[in-house]
Amino acid sequence: MAKKIYVLDTSVCLTDSDCVFHFGNNDIIIPMKVLEEIDKHKKRQDSAGTHARKIIRTLDGLRAKKSLQQGVRIDRGKGMLRVVGGNLECIPENMDPTVPDHIIISSALKQKEDNPDRRVVLVSRDINMRVICDSLGLLTEDYIKTKVIESESELYSGFTSVLVDDEFIDQFYEDEYMFLEQDDLFPNQYIMLVSSSNEKKTALARYIHPSHHLVKVNSNREGIWGVKARNKEQNFSFDLLMDPSVSIVSLVGKAGSGKTLCAVAAGLKQVLDGKKERDPLYKKLVISRPVMPMGKDIGFLPGTMQEKMAPWLAPIQDNLKFLMGDHTTLEMYMEKKVIEMEALTYIRGRSIANAFIIIDEAQNLSVHEIKTILTRVGEGTKIVLTGDIEQIDNIYIDETSNGLVHAVEKFKNYDIAGHVSLQKGERSKVATIAANVL
């Protein structure tokens, strides 16, 4: 079978700078217009800018081997890569030759014309571009290398039900050590034990691993820093957040489900109460979120870094003020660096030890950004990732390829990590209905 020819769109290069290495022994074509588009993004200070700069360096390294115009072998066992110009003669009459996407499509159509015996496929993350290609009879594919799940419904929930004997539940309630040996369970997964003889007889437990007994879920009836769990998912969240053996916690849920409030309350409880101890577990609470506008951006903001970050961190401050009740107290802790609100832009190079870190709105982070953040975690640090994968403002990722879902799926096999999907909205009736019907 003849090797395929893959024509890459700009969106692919800005999503994954290593994309040229992921097409096996097939040949790759990069239209000149794609390089022009990449050049426009290279100065950006986000993941798209990082990928733009990296792929330029990759192409420069290949150029040193041989001319990109003639074609160069990408690597041993890989295909050839060529850079080609657009061919305006191949643009259909009803398409605009000044539109970058149409010029890129013309490059693919030219390859199809020149290689009738080979399958030419244009790879793009732009849905509309793929629709246009299909209408022109041009094969097209989405770039799925960055997808860790096929759809958001497949995301690991951190919870499941297990059918057991009636006596099993009785023994569990009597504090006997009960074990489950099932291949489909993950470390720190929450389980509802359901009686096989009476489905209304249940018990909640946390699974650790086959050789460790099931653990009862801490009810925290008094609440954490004034916040009481209103449903079982919030109770699971507090159970993980208050467990120092779980270093990575991810909380995913719709708007108003309480994921951020639970994380902040647990952080305040452990950091501020720890200040009374001689050797506190966490010495500071660090909170941040991506600088990602919803809708039209308001442009550059004046002032110091703290003043620039204020609009983005306002939702976090709302939670802090609600929990602490006194704005003066909050300011005092911030001045003492006990509570820090950081810009993710400057986290590279840091090593944050003995801290309770909360990254809010993590669904707007790319895999590269999540990796950068998690590799900053030092000894004795706990990191909490919160977000709603249905509300993504970053145009280069979606609900199946963002950094938060990658973290959930990649860490679910490790006992230092735990995940909870919060299902029920608790902010208000309006917020709950809006999250479900809009």
What is the per-residue pLDDT across 372-381, written as a single tens digit (0 to 9) for each? Answer: 889 888 899 9
**CB-based contacts of 129: which residues, under 8 Å, 6+ apart?**
9, 11, 101, 104, 105, 122, 140
Strands 27-31 and 80-84, by their bridges, are parallel
In the DSSP assignment, the letter for residue 19 is G
Q: Is residue 214 part of a domain?
A: no
Domain match, 394 and 261 both: yes
Q: Is residue 134 part of a domain?
A: yes
Distance from C-alpha of 186 to C-alpha of 207, rounded to nearest angstrom:
7
Domain match, 292 and 428 both: yes
Predicted local confidence at residue 221, as pLDDT: 81
Expressed as residue numbers, the domain containing 376 is: 223-437
Domain match, 92 and 232 both: no
pLDDT band at 133 (very low <50, low <70, confident <90, very high): very high
For the stretch 315-360, pLDDT in tens is: 777 777 778 776 677 778 878 888 887 777 667 667 888 999 999 9
Domain match, 136 and 230 both: no
Distance from C-alpha of 362 to C-alpha of 419, rounded to nearest angstrom:
14
Q: What is the CATH number of the domain that holds 62?
A: 3.40.50.1010
Q: How large a percentage of the chain has pLDDT more than 90?
A: 52
Please give the tally of structural domains in the chain. Answer: 2
- Tell me the backbone φ, ψ of residue 120, rounded to 5 degrees: -105, 125
Domain match, 228 and 369 both: yes
Q: Is residue 381 part of a domain?
A: yes
Domain boundary among 111, 141, 171: 141
Strands 5-8 and 27-31, by their bridges, are parallel
Domain boundary among 141, 162, 191: 141
Domain boundary among 141, 175, 192: 141
Q: Are 137 and 110 in contact (CB under 8 A)?
A: no
Say yes or no to pLDDT of 296 above 60.
Answer: no
For the stretch 180-194, pLDDT in tens is: 988 889 999 999 999
pLDDT band at 426 (very low <50, low <70, confident <90, very high): low
Three-class DSSP category at 206: strand
Domain match, 131 and 234 both: no
Q: Where are the alpha helices (DSSP H) in 64-152?
A: 100-114, 127-135
Distance from C-alpha of 365 to C-alpha of 371, rounded to nearest angstrom:
10
Q: Is residue 424 part of a domain?
A: yes
* pTM beyond cutoff 0.85: no
